[in-house]
Amino acid sequence: MEIWPGKSYPLGATYDGTGVNFALFSEVANKVELCLIDDEGAETRVELPEVDGFVWHAYLPGVQPGQRYGYRVHGPYDPANGHRCNPQKLLLDPYAKAIDGQPDGDQSLFSYDFDSPSEDPSRANVEDSLGHTMMGVVINPFFDWGQDRLPRHEYHNTVIYEAHVKGLTETHPDIPEEIRGTYAGIAHPVIIEHLKGLGITAIELMPVHQFVNDFTLRDKGLSNYWGYNTIGFLAPHNGYAAYGTRGEQVAEFKGMVKALHEAGIEVILDVVYNHTAEGNQLGPTICFRGIDNAAYYRLVDDDKAHYYDTTGTGNSLLMRNPHVLQLIMDSLRYWVTEMHVDGFRFDLAATLARQFHEVDKLSAFFDLVQQDPVVSQVKLIAEPWDVGDGGYQVGNFPPLWTEWNGKYRDTVRDFWRGDSATLGEFASRLTGSSDLYEHSGRKPIASINFVTAHDGFTLRDLVSYNEKHNDANGEDGNDGENHNRSWNCGVEGPSKDKRVNALRLRQQRNMLATLLLSQGVPMLLHGDELGRSQGGNNNGYCQDNEISWIDWKLDQDQLDLIAFTQKLVELRRDHPVFRRRRFFAGSADHGGESAVGDIAWFEPGGNHMDEDSWANGYARSLMVFLNGQSIPEPDTRGQQTLDDHFLVIFNGHHDVLPFVLPGKEYGERWVTELDTFAQEVEAREYKPDAKVKAHGRSVIVLRCPRPLPSGSPAGAAAARR
């Protein structure tokens, strides 16, 4: 075999049409062997002859796509000082662009004896892990993208749909069985038509980076369904491939992105750069641990045999190491430039900010993202918390970023379950959470609004269960959140009571209406538009089965809920007053009112909300006026954005309430656009000062069509602007 020196950049295995350049970083190694694995599992070892800047490299002419490979790194095994090299372990390339296999949990994957765990270097396990671990696969990077272009929807026009590749497609009867649960399944016309019909502009896929199925879960007959256990940051997960795993998954993923882009749908990836699948000091040696443990992981300062963990998974990546930062940035850039994705949602993003101990929004990671000409131009969404000290950072990320707004989720849930003293907080969340984002120069689009996500109850379960029901997880109910801010509407779980079921459907409509009519960027959890249930399981991370998959056998109530969701998205899309790019001119407190008349808040009796109204901890209802002719941002032609006026009535009280509409200075004629009390809404008209009956726990949307009378205060305010 010819072995040429090759180059130290780029890292990974790079095919150029005639051969492959291999490059691996390890500062601690004293020798690195490239291992080529044939179809029978036999190994050919090639010592990498060159090292530059701690990158070991070689070029092998004649090596072709589909070639499986790994590394053996020779160096110190000294856990007390943070080093865990063990050449008996075949190691995965951190830059592998495709991966074959899954670790099987065999003793050989571990650097200690199961029966006598020890950190003594003389007791290191010397069993060879070849045949029990995963391997990198050389890929062919060439793909016909045709006329593919990123849709580049502006944030204020964006509606996000959080979905799981398998859960979304596994049971759909119109998808061929052989591609259900795969990237090809997502690309199937029936899924794309469903997303387009809903008005979705971006699908946010739960982790598709290559992840490891936890051995402990597998022993229980379960699996890591969610995928927050990444091992390959540049490789699409092989378990979601329909057409093979020897590199074919890369082309299949690209085909999925291309199909979604053709439909005008962006692809956002949920990415896990805060930890890896190797766990704590008792975890397997699959990749980073055996390559350069002290460079890749945060270790306890005075006890380097143990890992500093802010993620609850056993380890955290060392965000102040330049090679870790390079890996993350190279990964992000690769997914944008080569895989054409449109953005990222960063799991436990507060960990990425921990350059040292505390969370620091000025850490090196954010500096790198800010200055990167590729990564800085796509959608960047933070999950702004982790489990470490000071980890809850909602509202504190840099201006380039948007955030999952956990306070929005909690407030909306509290309002609709009838919690006390929520009116002011509810109004603030409804208007874009200026109290969280305006101080840093951000706008309403910084808030990714959601009521439900993969972690927790589905929307249907949120109104059907007071308590979690996680027995199937095998953890004696100790897993999952205990404080769900849910309300079962009077009966725990499924009910045959028609009144209970009607209330549950109305509560789902209420929260969908609140979500899609709030300022900010709405995110739907897949299946919430059709009433998906997990049977009260609020932590389906290990349930790769009917508990977590969407059941596409829909009854009439579910079909009606889809139609209702479609109408809400259309209402938002057609009326910019619900998706403003700037905050209302009123103060941040309680949504505020201002002299320009862009927003006004009313009690049910028709009076303006005052300090006593906001402070009334027993109040459950309010009405908001949205001025469609006082929107500060211009439209695409540079003209003033004009819209109809809207009144939105929120009755969180359990009984019917009459709402008195404001006087004619706010509008001469009001038409019912939506009422969550009923699926079909009678288009009634109301005059100023009329009374509107709002049923218990309902939302009513009234529209005042343009034009306004020229002498009205609202019209005059718009003219002044």
Name the strands in the sheet holding 685-686, side by side, starting at the edge strand that comes first in the sequence.
Answer: 599-602, 621-626, 645-651, 698-704, 670-675, 685-686
Q: 634, exposed or middle or buried, with CB in 10 Å at 0-12, 13-18, 19+?
A: exposed
Instruction: Kindly give, in sequence order, each residue whose CB lies less than 8 Å from that of residue 455, ignoring residues fewer than 6 positions away.
Output: 481, 539, 541
d(CA 492, CA 461): 10
Backbone angle region of 638, left / alpha / beta, with phi > 0 → left and psi within -120 to 50 → alpha: left
Give catalytic status of residue 154 as yes or no. Answer: no
Question: Which residue carries 């009205």 as its tokens?
Answer: 712
Give catalytic status of residue 598 as yes or no. Answer: no
d(CA 683, CA 28): 73
453-to-141, 272, 524, 527, 709 alpha-carbon distances in Å: 34, 16, 8, 11, 44
**DSSP class of 310:** S
Phi first, then psi: give them for residue 344, nearest 5 degrees: -140, 145
d(CA 629, CA 719): 9
Question: Cα angle vertex 505, ends 504, 507, to 5°?
Answer: 65
User: Which of the following is catalytic: 100, 248, 347, 461?
Assistant: 347
d(CA 91, CA 32): 11
The answer to whether residues 509 and 564 touch, using CB atoms and an 8 Å cutoff, is: yes
The answer to whether residues 601 and 427 touch, using CB atoms and an 8 Å cutoff, is: yes
Nearest C-alpha neighbor of 442 from the set 302, 582, 335, 593: 582
Question: Which residue carries 């002011």 as its tokens?
Answer: 424
d(CA 414, CA 404): 18
d(CA 499, CA 496): 9
User: Which of the following is catalytic: 383, 414, 419, 435?
Assistant: 383
Buried b / exposed e across 450-470, counting CB within 10 Å, b at 16+?
bbbbbebbbbbbbbbbeebbb
> Active-site residues: which are they?
347, 383
